Structure 1
Amino acid sequence: MDKRRVTDEKRLLHGGDYNPDQWLTYPDILEEDVKLMKLAHTNTFSVGIFAWAALEPEEGRYAFDWLDKVIEGIDSIGGRFILATPSGARPAWMSKAHPEVLRTDAYRRKHLHGARHNHCFSSPYYREKTQEMNRKLAERYGNHPALLMWHISNEYGGECHCDLCQENFRTFLKNKYDNDLDKLNHSWWGPFWSHTITDWEQIESPSPIGESAVHGMNLDWRRFVSHQTIDFYKSEIEPLRELTPSIPITTNFMSDNPEFVPFTGLDYSEFAKEVDVISWDAYPAWHNDWEDTATTASRTAFLNDHFYTMKNQPFLLMESTPSAVNWHDVNKAKRPGMHYLSSMQMLAHGSDSILYFQWRKSRGSSEKFHGAVVDHDRSSENRVFKEVAQLGQAMEEVSEKVTGYRRVADVAILYDVESDWALKDAQGFGLKTKHYGETLQKHYQSFWDKNIAVDIVTKEQDISAYKLLIVPMLYMMSEETAITLQTFVKNGGTLVSTYLTGLVDESDLTHMGGWLKPLRETFGIEPLETDTFYPSDKNTMVYKGFEYEIKDYATIMEAKGANVLGQYESDFYEGTPALTEHAYYEGKAYYIGARLEQRFHDAFYEELIKKMDLKPALAASHKRGVSIQSREANGMQTIFIMNFTEKTQTLTLHERVLDSQSGEYIEGDLKLKPYDVRIVEKSKEA
């Protein structure tokens, strides 16, 4: 077991971001916090995230006494602290004295001091200062018994286009293309619109003026932004690895909001290799007016499984809200019971923590109305505080049962952020209807509804152990990846793919000769063209005697050995294949040629689940909106039964389980109130 894995802790972490540096002139508040922490059944706090100005009020003068007292207070109640490096928000004196730390935007305009995360990742001075700060933090607190882990910066993101970054971009490209401009020009298709590069100094980052038409350059710029961000992170952690080698390190990942799909600002699959524990910040828009609660829950579950699979170990929920946020278009409060339910869902999908942004509401500035455990009333008697305390008690009861958790999924969905970048750039198809991340979530939903565990893998991860692999809309695909998928099917796996798959290579160049040969052989089809729909366009497909509506995209194709399961019912391609199945060596490959309604996904995958005998964690019958998820540890399964609907649901248990609350064995009908959660147990071998 990795000595730096924080989940060796035998208790679940409950607490969150604590910003005592905002309250240093209110000593009564700081004393009150310690008392309230105990009442809220919290045990872990992230400190120092945005505290640089308090830690170094002027260049070279450090002030740690206040942080000593805060840590003493947390330690006095048996709590732990996650110590953050403060690089996410730089002090004003630094911006004034050293303007190189300020970012330059894509229009080549230097930022002013303000907001946060507007520092340049290439700045030598900023790298030097972060290392200096982090070394002092490690020297002072590295051996403190209550130090749990390091939290590096905060929600890395954004990009800089300054001269330093331009030079580093060119160096990145020289390394990538072996200092050979001919290779670069071929990869970027330089002759197009006379974009041939004849000197490295001619290369600049993409400008939003006119939008860059060189898609290969756009792709490499995004790769560089990820590379440079990760390189800055690695620079930050050097003193911490040196002085505290056994303390785990994380940085908080996030989702793309408000869509609540995988984050596309950085390549997290690469970043994940550099952290000891994955942590992420989850802010689903519960109670919204565009989808039902169960769908929001399914999308949240997808992201949880995405982060779990990055390292195939439990992750941390580093930020969430016990009530509302302040940055959605509509900042709706969680309804009674939703905080408990949504937190239990996080635990059920592999989180070893429920941590909040924030512990206490700020008194001023942009986050004064963002949700928190302690509101402006400073009371432990309001609804939100009581719900947090209730959850904390429940987490204490379940901690021993779920720590050490591992899971094995038979199903995986492949997500590739680089393909997402390239697809967004593609000037074709429907410019506003690509929806790559959302499409993956819709495929995932059919399994979540059936309580079938799903991993979210990258193209680099080993897929050989899965029974079913789903690869929707993998627009950018190398021949190597195509061969990997072919081998998966050849060896007995079942593969599902869709429209807009395999159209360009890893340089965003179309494949010579059309679809790659390994794909043609594996799927037994030949895609000919892609029809793109206006919202008013209509077409349908019949599958297993039911008609399903098509929207946005339809692949026109020929079957070259594949069995046709569904045909288009109208337009010039009426009667041609829309859905195919191909037996290939020991496995099967399915191709879904059109974007079909969710009802089709549910029917299609239900058929596959039966054929492949994929088993849920618990044999039970219930309506949509009830989710059953399992954590396996120490030879036992702890099973979370959750009602993500606004109605009382009755489900039927088809096997005998132990009710964790009553201590009695139950079977048969079980009633769940709206937003209700029941936790049951059974032997892993049962």
Structure 2
Amino acid sequence: MKMKKNKQVTKANFFLHGGDYNPDQWLDRPDILADDIRFMQLSHTNTFSVGIFAWSALEPEEGVYHFEWLDEIFDNIHQIGGKVILSTPSGARPAWMSQKYPEVLRVNASRQKQLHGGRHNHCFTSPVYREKTQQINRLLAERYGNHPALLLWHISNEYSGDCHCDYCQNAFRQWLKETYNHDLKALNDAWWGPFWSHTFSDWSQIESPSPIGERAVHGLKLDWRRFATDQTISFIENEIVPIREITPEIPITTNYMADTVDLIPFQGLDYSKIAKHIDVISWDAYPTWHNDWESTADLAMKVGFINDLYRSLKQQPFLLMESTPSLVNWHKVNKAKRPGMHLLSSMQMVAHGSDSIMYFQWRKSRGSSEKFHGAVVDHDNSPENRVFKDVAEVGETLEKLATIVGAHRDSDVGLLYDWENKWALDDAQGYGLDTKRYTQTLQQHYRPFWEEDISVDVITKDQDFSNYKLLIVPMLYMASEDTIRRMKSYVANGGRLVMTYISGIVNEHDLTYLGGWPKDLQEVFGIQPTETDTFYPKDRNSVHYKGKSYEVHDYATIINMLDGTAEGVYKQDFYENTPAVTSNHYGKGKAYYLGARLEDEFHRDFYQEIIDELDIGPVVDIKHEKGVSVQTRQGEEADYVFVMNFTEEDQQILIPSQLTDIITGEVLIGELTLQKYEVRILISK
């Protein structure tokens, strides 16, 4: 068992359990606020995010501040032993600011200024907005920086979107000048300016992408997305100046997002870059449990993928900042969690590295757009309903798991995910416009390891490859020369590398490599891909690999062999009996190229061979059927094993050696029955 020192992301030696608390909505109801404190204790919750959208309550008029209500909230939570995550309120500005300073309003891609309303529709470049956010943040830090309840800073909320106002246009041009060393020719070369006569003769001619002809200049779109991320980071850095100055010991987070249907990371910003500017990764998870298009286990696998990505960004535990104890109000169908699912889904988060279970929201709003969104406290204001009791059960469970806080997850497998690559691949007007499915392809390669209970780090191109016995790089369409060199070095030094179709096609400017596949990749893989055949839904082909045939979907690469070995061949079409799966020894390592998108069974068989060869396996080898997931966190003195049944029926598992159930104290070995949605948390010393 590998031993690493636990890494706690906050000073709390317990799991954070609580949620977004909006007492500013109830300031005229002291009885409600009193009930909140009582219910916090009954629900075994201990930490609350406060102030996220409270700017109008904190500063109802410019320069007029009302902090007394927040003082009382801090003190009341502290008196029951609770902690506060204090948010900066920049996610939704007050109306007086929009009226007096209209420059703070966001301008959309059609160059239309947005009206006041909603949230997250401010300009990140506006000098006034930057001044006002830093001003309110300084006052918050000065007033609450030394309060014993303050545990963590929550910077704004779910950063997203971009602005196309004149301030942002000028900032974009300045960003481009710095990026291209004030060399306009270098920019024109990178953007392939002669295409459709898009060569610029002056920096002032450059504008952000508009909805008209938005696909025309891919380099422009790519750089605009990079700028949007960097400008968001600039805004974050501006926000946290007084916070770092006044409360340097209090860690900072901002909450990330993910698509709730396909469970793909939020695409509006490159989260890997933002991760370098905050202390703790947190994210808001709202999976569509109990949907009618996939199994519970399939959805759980996707949730695991996102968890492992966000955990791997900083190689430390993360925080679940928002989830629902019951349902949401913005899915197409807002289905309630079935009995047992709330505990199971919460423990999955902990198993993959979360040191918190937090909710949106603590108390249901009485009006407006979130009045039917799930909450710990419902409109009935009662601790006797099913959801409240489910929350209390999770709280009691977390209290028994305190020794796990800060525990890490060892991984021998790295799976490379790249935000910029997805942007470029989505823009590419080629292949199948609806079948690229970059993130879903990564999940397909993640699945065999999840099913075998093998931990995976979902890493980015800037992270260290040498930490892994196996590095998997699916569909890296955009690969810079530097990234290619680093992969080459990884294999030369003994690593195992798997790459797939539609990889190594363009450089970091989205310009194709001339002369065929890059020479470094040809050397590593011993092949030269020459064509990519794209399938209609009814097209059929198969690959014969080690005595079995596997169905091809969507893409098939036609390969010219150099020094590599053909491990599998196509069985139909004009490229019948040509290589589809190849391997090549390079230096001390080995590289595999998967030329076709193949069915899941191929990935299970293919990766199982590599797993066996590299002696990669789960920490504790508990035998079970598909749909049961066993995930492990390693502490300083013990391993913590989460055995979770994501199926709709009872499942038999086989425990090979004695393990102790942390919750019940029961010593377990041999066969055990897991009921539907049941989770057991075991300790192995």
Q: TM-score, length-normalised on structure 1?
A: 0.98
1:3 is displaced (CA, Å) by 14
Deviations along 1:483-537, one digit per CA (max 9) or x if unpaired, are 1111111111111110010000000000121211111111111100001111111
In the other structure, the counterpart of 1:110 is 113
Q: Is the 8 A contact 2:397 2:663 kept in 1?
A: no
Instruction: Between 402-411 and 274-283, report the one with greater CA deviation.
Output: 402-411
Equivalents in 1 of 2:201, 2:6: separation in Å?
A: 50
Secondary structure of residue in 1 paired with 2:158? coil
Q: Is the 8 A contact 1:3 1:246 kept in 2?
A: no
- The number of residue pairs the alignment matches comes to 682
What pairs up with 1:391-410 in 2 under 5 angstroms? 391-399=394-402, 401-410=403-412
Secondary structure of residue in 2 paired with 1:620? coil
What one-letter code is carried by the residue in structure 2 that aligns with 1:641?
V
Secondary structure of residue in 1 paired with 2:566? strand
Match among 659, 664, 667 for residue 665 of structure 1: 667
In the other structure, the counterpart of 1:21 is 24
Match among 618, 621, 624 for residue 619 of structure 1: 621
Equivalents in 2 of 1:391, 1:213: separation in Å?
A: 51
Match among 223, 234, 239 for residue 236 of structure 1: 239
In the other structure, the counterpart of 2:631 is 629
What pairs up with 1:270-669 in 2 under 5 angstroms? 270-399=273-402, 401-669=403-671
Match among 27, 50, 54 for residue 53 of structure 2: 50
Match among 140, 143, 151 for residue 143 of structure 2: 140
What one-letter code is carried by the residue in structure 1 that aligns with 2:605?
A
Unaligned runs of 5+ in 2: none
Equivalents in 2 of 1:245, 1:106: separation in Å?
A: 38
Equivalents in 1 of 2:477, 2:293: separation in Å?
A: 28
Equivalents in 2 of 1:198, 1:5: separation in Å?
A: 53
Secondary structure of residue in 1 paired with 2:529? strand
Equivalents in 2 of 1:661, 1:48: separation in Å?
A: 35
Equivalents in 2 of 1:605, 1:3: separation in Å?
A: 30
What one-letter code is carried by the residue in structure 1 that aligns with 2:173?
R
Equivalents in 1 of 2:326, 2:666: separation in Å?
A: 34
Find out whether 1:158 has 2:148 as its counterpart: no
1:4 is displaced (CA, Å) by 11
Equivalents in 1 of 2:220, 2:142: separation in Å?
A: 43
Equivalents in 1 of 2:212, 2:8: separation in Å?
A: 46
Find out whether 1:85 has 2:88 as its counterpart: yes
Q: Is the 8 A contact 1:5 1:248 kept in 2?
A: no
Q: Is the 8 A contact 2:496 2:590 kept in 1?
A: yes
Match among 211, 232, 239 for residue 208 of structure 1: 211
Equivalents in 2 of 1:635, 1:354: separation in Å?
A: 24
In the other structure, the counterpart of 1:674 is 676
In the other structure, the counterpart of 2:68 is 65
Q: Is the 8 A contact 2:6 2:406 kept in 1?
A: no
Deviations along 1:535-554, one digit per CA (max 9) or x if unpaired, are 11111112232221111111
Instruction: Between 565-574 and 102-111, report the one with greater CA deviation.
Output: 565-574
Secondary structure of residue in 2 paired with 1:278? strand
In the other structure, the counterpart of 1:217 is 220
1:338 is displaced (CA, Å) by 0.4
Equivalents in 1 of 2:420, 2:259: separation in Å?
A: 15
1:390 is displaced (CA, Å) by 0.5
Equivalents in 2 of 1:392, 1:42: separation in Å?
A: 6
What one-letter code is carried by the residue in structure 2 that aligns with 1:374?
V
Deviations along 1:161-205, one digit per CA (max 9) or x if unpaired, are 000000000000000011111100000000111100000000000
Q: 1:142 to 1:153 in 2, by over 3 A?
A: same
Equivalents in 1 of 2:92, 2:56: separation in Å?
A: 9
Q: 1:103 to 1:4 in 2, by over 3 A?
A: farther
Instruction: Between 646-655 and 468-477, report the one with greater CA deviation.
Output: 646-655
Q: 1:176 to 1:5 in 2, by over 3 A?
A: farther
Q: Is the 8 A contact 2:83 2:150 kept in 1?
A: yes
Q: 1:490 to 1:3 in 2, by over 3 A?
A: closer
In the other structure, the counterpart of 1:183 is 186
What one-letter code is carried by the residue in structure 2 that aligns with 1:110?
K
Equivalents in 2 of 1:21, 1:75: separation in Å?
A: 18
1:2 is displaced (CA, Å) by 13
1:76 is displaced (CA, Å) by 1.5
1:254 is displaced (CA, Å) by 1.0
Deviations along 1:465-498, one digit per CA (max 9) or x if unpaired, are 2100000000000111111111111111111110
Equivalents in 2 of 1:578, 1:370: separation in Å?
A: 49
In the other structure, the counterpart of 2:40 is 37
1:258 is displaced (CA, Å) by 3.1
Deviations along 1:72-122, one digit per CA (max 9) or x if unpaired, are 221121000000000001111111111100000000000001110000000
What one-letter code is carried by the residue in structure 2 that aligns with 1:170?
R
Q: Is the 8 A contact 1:641 1:677 kept in 2?
A: yes
Equivalents in 2 of 1:115, 1:659: separation in Å?
A: 47
In the other structure, the counterpart of 1:119 is 122
Deviations along 1:109-145, one digit per CA (max 9) or x if unpaired, are 0000111000000000000000110011011111000
What one-letter code is carried by the residue in structure 2 that aligns with 1:278?
I
Deviations along 1:326-349, one digit per CA (max 9) or x if unpaired, are 111111111100000000000011
Equivalents in 2 of 1:251, 1:40: separation in Å?
A: 25
Q: Is the 8 A contact 1:6 1:149 kept in 2?
A: no
Equivalents in 2 of 1:191, 1:4: separation in Å?
A: 52
Q: Is the 8 A contact 2:321 2:359 kept in 1?
A: yes
Match among 252, 257, 260 for residue 255 of structure 2: 252
Equivalents in 2 of 1:634, 1:533: separation in Å?
A: 51
Equivalents in 2 of 1:565, 1:324: separation in Å?
A: 48
Equivalents in 2 of 1:3, 1:566: separation in Å?
A: 44
1:210 is displaced (CA, Å) by 2.5
Equivalents in 1 of 2:649, 2:546: separation in Å?
A: 32
- Measured on the aligned residues, the alpha-carbon RMSD in Å equals 1.4
Q: Is the 8 A contact 1:8 1:403 kept in 2?
A: no
Q: Is the 8 A contact 1:5 1:277 kept in 2?
A: no
